[in-house]
Each structure stands twice: as structure tokens, then as C-alpha cells.
Amino acid sequence: MVGILFCVDVVTNQSTVVTAAVLSSQVSENPINKAAAQLKAKEQVINDKEQMLKAMEQKLERGNMFVLLLILVLFLLILLNFYFDYHRRHEEAKK
């Protein structure tokens, strides 16, 4: 198959005609081609699942950060409670 392609060079603003030859061939269907096509389809399914898992992992990481922050805040509140208890007992002991 031979085709003629009309091209315009944007930089020099010149028109050129290019002749391109295209070769195409078709392989008859056989068990190896079928297996290769099935493998490509399975590979695409696996890639899609991998992308979904990555998205879920990112959501879990954000959730883990939230839980970590919550634990840190609770820890600080507990420390603050111990400090105020100690301070209150110390003030009562002075009286």
C-alpha cells in the first residue's frame, strides 16, 4: 500500500509531499496467538486491579495518618491531665 502525505513544515513554512509505503500483514490464528491475546487481556485486568489497590493504599495511608494524629492528641491530653493533677495536689499540699 502506498500513500501520499502532504506535510507543512511549521518552522520554514514550506510544503512538502512525502510518499509513504505501508506494509501490513496478518498472521493466521493459532493457539500461540490465542494464548498471547489471552495473556494480554489478563495483564490488562491485573494492571487495572493494581491501580485500584494503589488508590486504596493511598486512602488507607491518609486514614492511618488521621489515626496517628488522634492517638497523639489523646496522649497529649493524658499528659496534660497528669500535669494538672500534679499541680492541683501540689497546691493543696501548700495550703
Provide the number of structural domains found in the chain.
1
Residue 11 pLDDT exceeds 60: no
User: 39 or 29: which carries more pLDDT confidence?
Assistant: 39
- 35 has pLDDT over 60: yes
Q: What is the pLDDT of residue 46?
A: 97
Three-state SS at 76: helix
Euclidean distance between CA atoms 45 and 53, whole angstroms: 12
Q: What is the pLDDT of residue 62?
A: 83
Say yes or no to pLDDT of 39 above 90. Answer: yes
Element (H, E) at 29: none
pTM metric for this prediction:
0.43
| pLDDT at residue 63, as a whole number | 83
